[in-house]
Amino acid sequence: MSPALKPDVQKEMESFFHVCMANPSILNQPEYSTVKTFIEFFGGQIPKVNQQENNESPSKQSEDANISKEPEPQSEPESEEESDLELDMSAVIEPDTDAPQKMGNLTLQPTEEEIAESQAKRSEAVSAFIEKDYEKAIELYTEAIILNPQAALLYAKRGQIFLILNKPNACIRDCDRALELNPDSAAAHKFRGRANYLLGKFEEAANDLRLACKFDFDEQADEWLREVTPNARKIEEHKRKKERKIQEKLERERQERLRKARESAKIYEENTRTSQTDSSGDTAGMGDFYKFLNDPDVLQAFMDPEVAEAFKEISTNPTNILKYQSNPKIMAFINKMASKFGGAGGFPGMMGGMPGFPGAGNTQTTPKPKPQDDVGLD
């Protein structure tokens, strides 16, 4: 006996058979020519067109076409989604496009003398800042940073001056470096939060200002946070609403897929019932074929390329069977099919007209000699 089909292979073939039973006309496609030949070999006939579709009136087909072309749910245009988001943009300014400012070398470990000199530069920068000589203050902070690039507060203080000069991008670069050195720097979060606010990045601004107040509460940081909070909340709510719409759309699509799957299952069930009750020769032949294909031994043998090719030649011209008389594998397959179909009568055009083969009309058989039980005995 041939080995049984693997479960996954058998499952795939059963699925294919179900599709063919629901719509046999697909077997007219070139890629299924071998399967079509196999079916016709056992007396089955493949309809040229889907019988159900052929019997329907043009108006019915038109209605079905319209149903199948039912438009999918479409998401709302982005412009409509943004229309209900009204933000206060009065504080937003044009971004600065200056070349990046000088940064210290983080791999440099300053000496005690350099640290002391850096602190002196910082004191001068503070004096210039008080006098509102901001350009001078930036130069002095830069010199202090070059001397001691590991001091996070120097970057934050220079960033504060860039913020005053309406250079939010420069401020953010300095604050990023300060937070790289000290993630808990309240000053860096405070000034970067304000810079993001001026650039219209309200969510980022709110996050930074919340952290600034958390690490070291500051009245100015709290005031800036209260200014940016309304816009930040509107954006957060808008994102939640947008995410909700996306989830609702996904759920609708899922339900639509389920509906179509149920409809397909219903159509398949109706077609199956029709094929079981149809007494026409075409349907009966197809039913016999599918019943025959449920035999795992036949399926296993037919999956052999040599067997499939031999089967195709014999079904095209039954006399080709003479080529395979000396091939035990092919003859075993033919005999197995003959036995399962009750002799050559079940194989139209295969062996029924050929003498010497089972079921070929040779009803006479040569009797076997009886055993000579008493040979040699008196």
pLDDT tens digits, 56-66: 444 444 444 44
CATH number at residue 318: 1.10.260.100
pLDDT single digits (tens) 111-159: 999 999 999 999 999 999 999 999 999 999 999 999 999 999 999 999 9
Question: How many domains, the chain?
Answer: 3
| CA–CA distance, 241 with 40 (Å, rounded to integer) | 60
Last residue of some domain: 227, 243, 261? 227
pLDDT single digits (tens) 228-252: 999 999 998 898 988 999 999 999 9
Q: Mark whether 221 and 116 lie in a shared domain.
A: yes
User: Is residue 243 a part of any domain in this protein?
Assistant: no
Q: Mark whether 117 and 223 lie in a shared domain.
A: yes
340: pLDDT confidence band, cut at 50, 70 and 90? low
**pTM higher than 0.75 for the full model?**
no
Write down the pLDDT at residue 263. Answer: 83
User: Is residue 71 a part of any domain in this protein?
Assistant: no
User: Is residue 311 a part of any domain in this protein?
Assistant: yes
Domain with 147, as residue range(s), is 112-227
| CA–CA distance, 212 with 1 (Å, rounded to integer) | 80
Task: Give me the mean pLDDT over the 173-177 stretch.
Answer: 97
Last residue of some domain: 227, 245, 277? 227
Write down the pLDDT at residue 300. Answer: 72
Q: Mark whether 27 and 134 lie in a shared domain.
A: no
Write down the pLDDT at residue 292. Answer: 58
User: Is residue 254 a part of any domain in this protein?
Assistant: no
- Which pair of tokens denotes residue 24? 């046999």
Last residue of some domain: 227, 251, 275? 227
Cα Rg of the chain, angstroms: 43
Write down the pLDDT at residue 186. Answer: 96
User: Is residue 251 a part of any domain in this protein?
Assistant: no
User: Is residue 372 a part of any domain in this protein?
Assistant: no
Residue 210 confidence (pLDDT) above 50: yes
> 215: Cβ–Cβ under 8 A, 6 or more apart, which residues?
184, 185, 186, 189
Task: Give me the mean pLDDT over the 51-56 stretch.
Answer: 45
Write down the pLDDT at residue 78. Answer: 47
Write down the pLDDT at residue 3. Answer: 54
| CA–CA distance, 190 with 167 (Å, rounded to integer) | 15
Write down the pLDDT at residue 147. Answer: 96
Length of the chain: 378
User: Is residue 159 a part of any domain in this protein?
Assistant: yes
CATH number at residue 185: 1.25.40.10
User: Is residue 301 a part of any domain in this protein?
Assistant: yes
Portion of the chain with pLDDT greater than 90, in percent: 40
| CA–CA distance, 17 with 35 (Å, rounded to integer) | 11
Q: List the single range of 24-28, 164-168, 207-211, 363-367 with lowest mean pLDDT.
A: 363-367
Write down the pLDDT at residue 86. Answer: 86
